Amino acid sequence: MSGSDSEVVRTSSEEETLAWAREFGKTLKGGDCVLLSGPLGAGKTVVCRGVAQGRGFSGRTGSPTYAIVREYRCEPPIYHVDLYRLPEGADWEEIGLEHYRFSDAITLIEWPERLAGLDLEVTATVELKPVGESGRVISVARCQLPGASA
């Protein structure tokens, strides 16, 4: 497909997914926005943890029970957004996430499907498909943004 570039990676343990995500994280830059999809327990949070580690963050990562957004203080900072608990069709601006849109942080979004009409410049999408107990097929598509050099 022109205008995007994709990659498929297969992992067979959480550690392998983490290792892949650390390297993926190193390719990101401030202002990037990555959407993560896949069913419950697919490994979206594991990928976010790996990205944070790959960017040098050594603190605790994870999906908090109540917060929608967690910030990991590294350079650039990472906003880890988990929209799972939002009602279907929630509005990005109404829930106060507009703030994150034009930031220089790296924004990682789990369950982006919860938002109606997601109007974001997305850098990449990561889709995780479970295969058996501990296999995962990770499909990454990088989106070419207008103005980005080919």
Residue ranges binding ligand ATP (CB under 6 A) = 11-14, 16-17, 38, 40-46, 63, 84, 110, 134, 136
Pick what 40 binds: Mg ion, ligand ATP, none; C-beta below 5 to 8 Å, kind-dependent: ligand ATP
Among 63, 107, 123, 125, binds Mg ion (CB under 5 A): 63
Which residues partner with 137 through β-bridges?
10, 129
User: E strand or H helix at 36, and its extent?
Assistant: strand 33-37
Q: Which range in 71-79, 96-104, 106-114, 116-124 contacts Mg ion by CB under 5 A?
A: 106-114
Pick what 17 binds: Mg ion, ligand ATP, none; C-beta below 5 to 8 Å, kind-dependent: ligand ATP
Q: By CB under 5 A, tell whether 44 contacts Mg ion.
A: yes
Residue listed under structure tokens 């830059």: 29
Distance, in Å, from the CA atom of 68 to the CA atom of 75, rounded to the nearest integer, reads: 21
Q: By CB under 5 A, tell whether 136 contacts Mg ion.
A: no
Residues 6+ apart with CB under 8 A from 128: 36, 37, 38, 42, 43, 44, 47, 136, 137, 138
- Closest contact distance (angstroms) between CB of 123 and ligand ATP is 19
Residues 6+ apart with CB under 8 A from 140: 6, 7, 8, 9, 24, 124, 125, 126, 127
Pick what 103 binds: ligand ATP, Mg ion, none; C-beta below 5 to 8 Å, kind-dependent: none
Residues 6+ apart with CB under 8 A from 149: none
Of 131 and 145, CB closest to ligand ATP: 131
Q: By CB under 5 A, tell whether 45 contacts Mg ion.
A: yes
**Positions in the binding site for Mg ion (CB under 5 A):** 44-45, 63, 110
